[in-house]
Amino acid sequence: MRNRILGLAAIAAAIGAPLAAQAQSTVGVVREGVIVDGGGIAVAQRPAFREYVIRERVPTYTIPDRVIVGGVLPEAGITYYDVPQTYGATTYRYTVVNGQTVLVEPRTRRVVQVID
Which H helix or E strand runs over 35?
strand 34-37
β pairing state of 110-115 and 60-61: unpaired
How does pLDDT run across 8-45, given as a tens digit for each residue? 555 655 565 444 433 333 333 333 433 344 568 999 99
0.75 cut: is pTM over it? no
Domains of the chain: 2-115 (3.10.450)
| C-beta of residue 63 within 8 angstroms of C-beta of residue 26 | no
61 forms beta bridges with 97
Task: Provide the pLDDT for residue 83.
Answer: 93
What gap in Å lies between CA 16 and CA 13, rounded to an integer?
Answer: 5
Say if residue 86's pLDDT is above 70. Answer: yes
